[in-house]
Structure 1
Amino acid sequence: MTNEELQSLVKQISEQHFKKPFLHHAIFNGRLRTTGGRYLLSSHNIEINRKYLEEHGFSELEGIIKHELCHYHLHIEGKGYQHRDQDFKKLMKQVGAPRHCTPLQKVKKSSGKIYIYQCQDCAQIYERKRRVNTDRFVCGKCKGKLKQRKEYFSQND
């Protein structure tokens, strides 16, 4: 689905369920991580997380759009548009918008290399995700010189 198709879908849902026009822009935002969508107060635009369409399908996308349109129309009308407001709760119930969206499947990422350093004086071990400049940094316990022991790839937990 393109941004243009999303725009027309949002306009259609707004007319069908709210009986009011959607006069601003709706786009997909790939940077959204923990939310299905968001309504921007300053520009009145709506941003949608494309991953919800890909993972949960059209019905989930429709629910997210309804939820964001509740924020949109109430804010435009000067009514309570926040989650805690009665106007918002009432409108959500009227149009059948979900309070929360279904969580996305968590993709576990490999954390990559792990570097092991050991103090040459007190034998303190340090594990780091990033390389340490051993000429510049010393042991936090005794101020001794650090030496890199090994590096390995960690597994998913």
Structure 2
Amino acid sequence: MNLTEYVKSVSEEDFGKPFRHTAVWNSRLRSTGGRFFPKDGHLDFNHKLYQEFGIEVFRKIVRHELCHYHLYYENKGYRHSDLDFKHLLKKVGGLRYAPQSQQERVTFHHYLCQNCRQVYQRKRRVDTRKYFCGKCRGKLIEKNQS
């Protein structure tokens, strides 16, 4: 079964309404499970999340996007902040947020000032020979993560 057929079956089973557009995999999606495009009605989905978390979690992502889809075509509040969206999402059991992929988790580097003990957390490594404490201009040392 292809993706569009799967989304059509989820729409019929969980919403009792037809899905009349197309669903496609989008390899560029990183932090989101899927996207709804009101302009032409198609849905994009993150294939990496499907591979990593399986069909049960992916079905909840599909439900989330179908909430946007059906509410939009019913002229109801289809955005995340709208009550119509929140109620329908809860009713069908969709995910509010996409699960965080193992590949997308950020590791932090922790640095400590030797003088004032100020702690810094950075996504990128800092050259401790070049940079210093912004508070007291003391020497930074990298803390070991345990």
Common fold: TM-score over 0.5: yes
Offset of 1:39 from its aligned partner? Answer: 0.4
Instruction: Name the structure 2 match of 1:29.
Output: 26
The secondary structure found in structure 2 opposite 1:27 is strand
Aligned partner letter, 2:36: Y
1:12 aligns with 2:17: no
- Report the equivalent of 2:103: 106
1:39 is aligned with what amino acid? F
Provide the identity percentage. 44
Instruction: Name which of 88, 94, 117 aligns with 1:97.
Output: 94
Following TM superposition, where does structure 1 have runs of at least 4 consecutive aligned residues deviating by more than 4 angstroms? none
After superposition, the C-alpha distances for 1:1-60 in whole angstroms (9 at most, x for unaligned) are xxx611111000000011000000001011111111000111110000000011111111
User: Hey, what does 1:48 align to over in structure 2?
Assistant: 45
Q: Which residue of 2 aligns with 1:62?
A: 59
Counterparts of 1:56 and 1:16, CA distance in 2: 21
Aligned residues: 109
In the alignment, structure 1 segments of 5+ residues that lack a partner are 109-124, 126-157
Q: CA deviation at 1:69?
A: 0.1
Any idea what the Cα deviations from partners look like across 1:103-125, whole Å, max 9, x if unmatched?
001268xxxxxxxxxxxxxxxx8
* Alpha-carbon distance in structure 1 between the residues aligned to 2:99 and 2:83: 23
Partners in 1 of 2:42 and 2:89 — Cα distance?
A: 19
Partner of 2:82: 85
